[in-house]
Chains A and B, each alone.
Chain A
Amino acid sequence: MLDSIITPDLFAAAIRIATPLALAAIGGTICERSGVVNIALEGIMLTGAFFGTAVVLATGEPWLGVIAAVVAGISISAVHAFASINLRSDQTVSGTAINLLALGVTGFLMKLWYGHPGTTDQIKTLGSVFNFEAPGGGVLAEVWRWVNAILFTHSPIVYLAIIIAIVAQWAVFKTRWGLRLRALGEHPRAVDTVGVNVARGRWIAVLMSGALAGLAGANLTIEQVGSFTENMTNGRGFIALAANIFGRWTPIGSYLASLLFGFADALQIKLQILRGVINVPPQFFQMLPYILTVVVVAGVIGRAVAPAASGVPYRKD
């Protein structure tokens, strides 16, 4: 029975499912490193997913949809940036407003544009980047079959996410932008006193998180599902936040933590398919990612220290 669970496509699915979480989590990491908490990831992802789908439906061009999703993510995160940086709103409350706004706007436009609630028509999706042949028999071929199935069957944004994680890690710790970003989230006044614009630094970080969460939405619809359903993000934004914490506010850590969640989700889907063999209702499997999130958040805190000024609006005088 075990070999029908532990298959190459289980790991491939883990990577696939981890992708939107990781993109949003890296966005959350950049945002929190600058001192702005972003619990709006959920809503930004949903917005990206919707506008991505809408543009593909209108143009038939998946890549245009991806761009639209990123632009939509940036646009709605600008609202969060304006509220938390310029108006100094409570960032958690502002994030909640955006989550609700995203639900409302996507539902409203669903009916306005497509005349019905629920799910859109199918769209043209982005498929696998590589298409390698699996050669004949032998042990080596078996290994290659696994490697190919796990690593080389994915759509573009899956690879993009891995590249983004590595580049972001490097940028956060090795570049001028990264040093200032890390300083911003710890002690914005210190950054201000050396002549770096605090508001601008935070704006850029929030918009970047919007772009990444929007891209996560594009991955959900344009690569994975192939259509948009109302509230389809289903808590992924919050799980991404947990992944960001578990990854200790680092891009690669966020990616690896997301991979853990992805694996748990892939496993529960696999187990659901095996129902009948194991007699457990599907709802209990569906709970697993959420339970895992609670366990992770509960287990890791105390050892993980958030950026000191995260969530605190900066006021000059």
Chain B
Amino acid sequence: MAVLELRDVTKVFPGVVANDRVSFSLEKGEILALLGENGAGKSTIMNVVYGLLSSDGGEILIDGEPVNMRSPRQAIDLGIGMVHQHFMLIEPLTVTENIVLGREPGRLGVIDFALARTRVVELSERYGLKVDPDAKIADLAVGMQQRVEILKALYQGARVLILDEPTAVLTPQEVRELFAVIRSLVDEGLSVVFITHKLEEVMAVSDRIIVMRAGRVVGETRPEETDDVGLARMMVGRDVVLRVEKPPSTCGDTVLAVKDLHVMGDRGLEAVAGVSFTVCAGEVVAVAGVSGNGQTELIESIVGLRKPTSGTVHLKDIDITHAGPRKSIEAGVSHIPEDRHRRGLVLQFDIAENLVLGDHRLPPYAKNGIMKPKVIAEMAEKRIADYDVRTPSVSVLAGNLSGGNQQKLVVAREIGREPMLLIAAQPTRGLDVGAIEFVHREVLAERARGRAVLLVSLELEEILSLADRVLVMYEGRIVRELSAEEADAETLGYYMTGGGGDKLAADGVVPVMGGQQ
């Protein structure tokens, strides 16, 4: 009998049907992969199962019994646990406090912290998930935080564990560790639903695969019955080019030169510790690394959002080390920020206003502080046509566009400005395949136009398919530079987790001096 079964479950949001009569089942001791693109409705359906969202139709059965899932409390009581894509951890609280939250041991409302700690330690030893029970979440690395999340679900007595995109923030090596943990959980009698959009992971870990597209289940298969290409076709609904073909790089003048840059992070620790590299015209240089190793601070200091403590940044011959964002834009730096909702767009502004943002005080869009709505509207019309932003008009608010169209808007603004240097930080995060292909084409088109491109990405696939050179960043330093030919996922993963660092230091090698070979 299935531990979990969905029958025709439907979820409607204003304007969209997020899940349309979704049916599948999960057997005891099974690892079920839920595969689909961003926006296919995978997370939504599992949020319904977890009681976070109410369903608008259909049935959920646990151990064959229909249940009316109204709240996470009920789901937890029925043995369902979920590790969310965005961790549900409270940063200023300790590991123990986070794990016991909602089911605190104690009497008369007073928490028995000693008992809580003992239980956490017991649990972490039993499942081989080592954590410091007294550490504050804010001080833990991402991989460790994920362990806390899994322990939290186990503490609550989960028999069914739902993992929502658990590998998004992990290195290849950490992914392997996670898979081992999942297998041991299954050996202990748990059943796992594994949500992902990454084909290779599905092939590596799952027993059975459910493929979703546009809110529906479009197929079911097993790893031994299919391959990457077949799965990709099922997931996207058409053939997908998995690698982009590109002509060899024609490296011109040096456009960006970063020398011995030191930058402080938000926590008062040095986030970038002496980084030097160059990017030349007509070249894509990618920075690879696990999230939180100084990439964000590096970019923020190049575009002027963060003051470096020492070192220099030159754009051609201009020193932009202390330029600030405004002068940096005017000097010819464009920036596709890693978080388009936070830094990329003003969601309450319309498309035209978003497209002029950053150029809004320069001619021809403004003169003497007076803006030229007509010129701006004409520019906006042209840009949305050039970059295929799907919208009825340029006066639609950016917040009303889909994620893919929002990103196209940012790309249209930043590339449309015709910069000398394009900095793209995680430019395809959360996009569907069509939009990813679009962004990749535009990045390569910039390269072909002879512009310099600096790409930061957590997706190794993306780095491997776009970059001419790869800089691997670890703990604020560039620990390795690889040419496109040398780079593969395993090698990158090795250096991303600090591998080879000792050897470099022992040899006294200054890791990287950029430039053309």
Contacts and interface: CB of A to CB of B under 8 A. Distances in A.
Interface stretch (A2-10, A110-118, A158-166, A192-200): A192-200
B102 interface: yes
Contact of A183 (B71, B82, B101, B156): B101
Interface stretch (B87-95, B191-199, B402-410, B486-494): B87-95
A208 B53 CA distance: 29
Nearest to B155: A194
A316 B52 contact: yes
Contacts of B77: 195
Nearest to B91: A186
A195 B109 contact: no
A176 B88 contact: no
Contacts of B93: 179, 182-183, 186
B111 A174 contact: yes
Contacts of A195: 71-77, 102
A314 to B, nearest CB: 12
B474 interface: no
A291 B471 CA distance: 54
B82 A175 contact: no
A308 interface: yes
Interface string B334-374: 00000000000000000000000000000000000000000
A183 B99 CA distance: 12
A186 B53 CA distance: 21
Contact of A177 (B53, B71, B109): B109
B128 interface: no
B76 A194 contact: yes
Contact of A194 (B13, B72, B91, B111): B72
B50 interface: yes
Choose among B76, B84, B102, B103 the residue with the greatest number of A CB atoms under 10 Å from its CB: B102
B97 A316 contact: no
B113 to A, nearest CB: 8
B252 interface: no
Contacts of B97: 179, 183
Nearest to B73: A195
A207 B75 CA distance: 29
A193 B49 CA distance: 12
A175 B101 CA distance: 11
Contacts of B230: none
A191 B82 CA distance: 13
A179 B90 CA distance: 11
Contacts of B89: 187, 190
Interface string B212-244: 000000000000000000000000000000000
Contacts of A197: 71, 73
Given A193-B84, A195-B72, A195-B76, A183 B90 contact: yes
Given A179-B97, A186-B90, A317-B13, A196 B110 contact: no
B477 interface: no
Contact of A179 (B52, B84, B88, B104): B104
B66 interface: no
Contact of B92 (A175, A186, A193): A186
Contacts of A193: 50, 52, 72, 82, 84, 88
A171 to B, nearest CB: 9
A308 B72 contact: no
B152 interface: yes
Contacts of B91: 186-187, 308
B106 interface: yes
Contact of B106 (A176, A191, A192, A316): A176
A88 interface: no
B53 A176 contact: no
B361 to A, nearest CB: 30
Contacts of A186: 90-93
Contacts of A182: 90, 92-93
A174 B113 CA distance: 8
A307 to B, nearest CB: 9
A189 interface: yes
Contacts of B72: 192-195
Interface string B29-52: 000000000000000000000101
Contacts of A189: 88
Interface string A208-244: 0000000000000000000000000000000000000
A192 B52 contact: yes
Nearest to B106: A176
A196 B102 CA distance: 6
A310 to B, nearest CB: 13
Contact of B104 (A176, A187, A317): A176
Given A191-B102, A195-B102, 10 more contacts: A174-B110, A175-B111, A179-B101, A182-B90, A182-B92, A187-B91, A193-B84, A194-B76, A195-B73, A316-B52
Interface of B: 13, 50, 52-53, 71-77, 82, 84, 88-93, 97-98, 101-104, 106, 109-111, 152, 156
11 contacts: A176-B109, A180-B102, A182-B93, A183-B93, A187-B89, A190-B98, A190-B101, A191-B90, A194-B102, A195-B102, A197-B71
